[in-house]
Amino acid sequence: MTPAPIAVALDAPDLETAARWASLVTPHVSTVKVGLELYLRYGPDVVASVRGASRVQVFLDLKLHDIPATVAGAARAVARLKPAFLTVHASGGSTMIRAAVEAAPGTKIAAVTVLTSLRDADLAEIGLAGPASEAVLRLAAIAVEAGAQALVCSPREAAAVRAEVGPEVTLITPGVRPQGADVQDQARVATPEQALAAGADLLVIGRPITGAPDPGAAAAGIAAALRRMGVGAP
């Protein structure tokens, strides 16, 4: 059975929980995502722990953002872990993005456009020209020109980004919530079906799966719904 194009966010309190969640969901999804908190707490060992004996893709979501030389060094350091994706902030600029791409040739560098927790008012507060939809497109174009092979944007901007960058770039959408799920700290959200219809390739889903009584069953349920749409892993 083809796994669903879902990256389960393993935002766990400890390594054992993250590994258990990963083992439960990997029969159903293509990817597991390791975030900054888990990586800083346990280091590179976390990647092997969540990968286990499976062939699941690992999405290393570190959101690197620094001077180009520092980002290149960090990307080179984690490239040996063979993550499928590594995130950098698109707002770091084209030289920084290009440095990451060149330092980790075996990994898709995914440029984060505008965090899904941010609203237009937040962008105005930090001095980033908005609205969010326009800022996302501007950053997406910069990132792809610099060599980024993937982009992270909210599902609400996915269709416009797809039209802007074409079919070859992998679109990753956080802020995905099944119908009726709590949006929690996300501001720009959509259902899995809406995100895929808008052009997303990989859906980041965390607490609706990991917070369920049975994460494996929750992942299987969402995957089954996507299969009914005729969707498989990228």
Residues acting as catalytic residues: 63
Q: Are 46 and 18 spatial neighbours (Cβ–Cβ below 8 Å)?
A: yes
Strand locations in the chain, DSSP E? 4-9, 29-35, 57-64, 85-89, 108-112, 150-152, 170-173, 202-205
Q: Measured between alpha carbons, how far is 8 from 87 in angstroms, rounded to an integer? A: 15
Give the angle 66-201-76 at the CA atoms, nearest 5°: 30
Inter-residue contact 111 to 138 (CB < 8 Å): no
SS3 assignment, position 33: strand
Cα dihedral 71/15/213/63 (nearest 10): -10
Nearest 10 degrees: CA dihedral of 122, 204, 25, 29?
A: 180
d(CA 208, CA 223): 13
234: which 2 tokens? 């990228």
DSSP for residue 3? P
